[in-house]
Structure 1
Amino acid sequence: MAAHFLGFKSIGIEWDRNACETRYAAGLPTIHADVSVMRASRFDEIPKSVDVLAGGPPCQSFSVAGNGKGRRALSEVKDFIHRLVDGDDEAKIDEDLRALDDSRTALVLEPLRWLLKAIETDGRDPYKVIVLEQVPAALPLWEVYAKLLRAGEGRLNGVKYEAEYLQLKTEQFGVPQTRTRAVLVARRPGHGAIEPFDTTHLPFDLNRGKRNASQPDLFSADSDVPGGKRRWVSMAEALDSASRLKGSPVDVSRLRTRGRMKFFVVSNYGSGGDPKNRGRRLSSEPAFTVTGKISRNKVYRSAEEYEAARSDRFTIPESGVLQTFPHNFPWSGKDQAQQVGNAVPPRLGMHVLSRALRGNAPSEGELAASVTWPDVPPAGTAELRAIGCGDQSRCPPDSHKVTRSPQEPAP
């Protein structure tokens, strides 16, 4: 998404069939495959002109919302990173990786393995830029990555990078939600040092104190911060702006009271088993972190609705807008809420990629254009699906389940 709005061409590798369907509908070239399979046996299918490696390995095993096995395995994964660079037997490494508690944890090594593959493949050049994103718990891994990339030792064969790792808060870049991400940016020497990211908005105070749903200031008016950086973007501002765009599927009329957007959201997280302890956000504040479970968050227009348990839910287009996806983005396939929550907010992605590839922030014009997605004709979607899925024989196992009649022979 970010690459598209910045004018860069890209090709995606995606394991989840539903996410592929959304990408095909959006006109984004995608290979439906497992990244480890692509690296091991289909690497030649990646055009040699591809010179940027960007990825977000699965974060569930590292996330504070998960079971924590990945966090406990951080030291083990660091060891695997060093073993890969030092040239240990990869068959043995793969065997040891399979013994981890969560197989997804091993996927955080894939970007490094892709870089080593590019370095060791005749006719390929090392990637000029590498951009990786994960939950904050993975920042120690990006630190290890950065140190190794700067050194260029072992299997890196003298290939060195300027590399920095940092935490970014999405609301400080105009995303209407609070979400902290760990980012690694690395690029070959010659482009200057990677400067700190300039934030465009103020941070949201997470320690502003608990509010009671019955308090009279529940719907306190928005207020601008005079001078300096812009105030963070609220849910009401984002949804209202999206609803006013031509042909927008975002209809927030149900969330208005006397013409004003007034509601509050009760999260499905942080309850400690007691629903009364669940967090609340006002419409005049940024959203909670948009996860794959956002459809479980409950929306109320008043304290009376809350007391009567009459709640609403965000729609998929609305959830996408809170992630800074275009209002008309063509979400497709199943598990759309999970697709929304798994994604990097495109506006944050634009800031990261623009800084990594061009050394500056995205222009106001580029950011303004990112609110609308261009229409893709059905023929274009079908062509991308044919390229990405082909005859389905090379897609991940069991990803295309087809029910056949008893008379129909198996392929």
Structure 2
Amino acid sequence: MEELNYIDLFAGAGGLSEGFIRAGFNPVAHVEMNKDACDTIKTRTAYHWLKENGQSEIYYDYLKSETKNKEELWKKVPENLINSVINKEISEKSLPEIFEVIDRELGDKEVDVIIGGPPCQAYSVAGRARDPHGMKKDQRNFLYKYYVEFLKRYQPKMFVFENVPGILTAKNGVHLENIFKAVRKAGYELSLPTNKQQFLNAKNFGVLQDRKRVIIIGWKQELNLTYPDFEENEPQYEVLKDLFSDLKKLQNGEGTLNAVDYAKPTTDYLEQAKIRNGLDIVTQHIARPNNENDLEIYRIAVDEWNKGQRLNYATLPSRLIKHNNTKSFTNRFQVVNGQGVSHTVVAHIAMDGHYYIHPDKKQNRSITVREAARIQSFPDDYFFEGSRTAAFKQIGNAVPPLMAEKIAEKIKEMI
């Protein structure tokens, strides 16, 4: 079968793309406005090229190095591959330049699939609650128009458009209706997930996270396809026992962005989910420092969680309450479910770790960068460029690669 090519728009750190690469697709270009996320994709692009060309050791040496020079790593792979990661905000002004780079990369090849989802804050329920205008004036509501421009220009057979469930209700469904109209006008048919809720959940794809996402799939009208069937498998594994157990135990403020050894052997889940994939080291297992006030709240939160209930911020001893608002966001301190799947990892994890407290009270901290990446099903050899905060943000915004891979496999079958 000939190689299937795709373009990734609003690519983030490349979680969706990683799934498509695993399923045998070839990336023509990634477009992303955040520089740290682009650097992460460039580093991952280097990993894939070096692996394919029998030079994985160069990449592993990079992971093991304490003075990482990403530019030197990128020089080890063909320049056009690094240049195909386009660090630009998609706008009317930037479209001609983006098209020019993609056209050069594409040559006489065809684009089979376009993937990606515009930034979701404009469609998210939380975003609408925080914004005085309910996000009605947010320009990100209209980024789908640029997505449609890529469909018109490159005429892929299919596309995958990922977003938050809030897109179903944003502006009483008007935004979604406008997306459907614009896409149909461009010559494509499209469908929401056909289950009752109209979204997919990462936990049904082997990811140890309750993460609901709207995955719109579209195809050229003449192809006469239908939305694929995805099995809804309940997870059989647990975060503490199967996902975190081989990582070194840390206290708050401990750990390193650099490579360290695993503390224990791998688990069935880590092998099955391709998280531990042959390396003898792990990077970015680093925890945030916390003040004593927060640490005391963390201990109380874990005790409450172990009794089967979430901590209500308003019920804390008054000496621990530092926020005036005790009416809303009373769940601002949350423990990750160690005996099941985690709640959704979101980009707010870059601001503080209070919403992601480690379930082991003895460690008394929030989760590390690597633990967050594992909850999202990123493999341990995936390196997030930028600061610890930048890494958390990239992870929180990503599509879990394990979920992406299973979607990509269905797309491949359909094509």
Partner of 2:341: 286
Alignment-mate amino acid for residue 112 of structure 1: V
Partner of 1:323: 376
| 1:77-116 alignment runs, 5 A limit | 101-116=137-152
| 1:385-396 alignment runs, 5 A limit | none
Distance 1:264 1:282, change over 3 A: farther
1:169 paired residue among 196, 201, 205: 201
Q: Is the 8 A contact 1:146 1:184 kept in 2?
A: no
1:247 maps to 2:280: yes
1:358 maps to 2:375: no
Secondary structure, counterpart of 1:145 in structure 2: helix
Name the CA distance, whole Å, in 2 between partners of 1:231 and 1:186.
31
Secondary structure, counterpart of 1:65 in structure 2: helix
1:192 maps to 2:192: no
Name the CA distance, whole Å, in 1 between partners of 2:123 and 2:223.
34
Q: Is the 8 A contact 1:175 1:324 kept in 2?
A: yes
Partner of 1:299: 358
1:343 paired residue among 388, 391, 398: 398
Partner of 2:34: 16
Partner of 1:62: 123
Name the CA distance, whole Å, in 1 between partners of 2:312 and 2:199.
22
Distance 1:107 1:170, change over 3 A: same
Number of equivalences:
279
Gaps of 5+ in 2: 1-17, 47-83, 248-261, 267-275, 288-300, 315-324
Q: Is the 8 A contact 1:53 1:130 kept in 2?
A: yes
Name the CA distance, whole Å, in 1 between partners of 2:381 and 2:312.
31
Name the CA distance, whole Å, in 2 between partners of 1:70 and 1:49.
41
Name the CA distance, whole Å, in 1 between partners of 2:212 and 2:132.
17
Name the CA distance, whole Å, in 2 between partners of 1:104 and 1:322.
27
User: TM (normalized to structure 1)?
Assistant: 0.59
Partner of 2:243: 238
Distance 1:21 1:324, change over 3 A: same
Partner of 1:137: 166
Deviations 1:107-133 (A, max 9, x none): 2332123223x1xxxxx5x12111101
Partner of 2:20: 3
Name the CA distance, whole Å, in 2 between partners of 1:359 and 1:264.
46
Name the CA distance, whole Å, in 1 between partners of 2:310 and 2:120.
19
Q: Is the 8 A contact 1:131 1:353 kept in 2?
A: no
Q: Is the 8 A contact 1:62 1:70 kept in 2?
A: no
Deviations 1:250-292 (A, max 9, x none): 799x9xxxxxxxx959899985744874443431121121122
Name the CA distance, whole Å, in 1 between partners of 2:337 and 2:33.
36
Q: How far did residue 14 of structure 1 move?
A: 1.0
Name the CA distance, whole Å, in 2 between partners of 1:115 and 1:73.
29
Deviations 1:202-251 (A, max 9, x none): 2xxxxxxxxxxxxxxxxxxxxxxxxxxx5365353122367534324279
Name the CA distance, whole Å, in 2 between partners of 1:21 and 1:110.
23
1:178 paired residue among 203, 210, 214: 210
Aligned sequence identity (%): 22
2:367 paired residue among 314, 330, 346: 314
Q: Is the 8 A contact 2:190 2:218 kept in 1?
A: yes
Q: How far did residue 353 of structure 1 move?
A: 2.1
Name the CA distance, whole Å, in 2 between partners of 1:269 and 1:109.
42
Deviations 1:59-112 (A, max 9, x none): 1122223244789778xxxxxxxxxxxxxxxxxxxxxxxxx6323222233212
Distance 1:268 1:52, change over 3 A: farther
Q: How far did residue 58 of structure 1 move?
A: 0.6
CA RMSD in angstroms, aligned pairs only = 3.6
Name the CA distance, whole Å, in 1 between partners of 2:126 and 2:115.
24
Name the CA distance, whole Å, in 2 between partners of 1:111 and 1:71.
27
Name the CA distance, whole Å, in 2 between partners of 1:27 and 1:269.
42
- Largest Rg, 1 or 2: 1
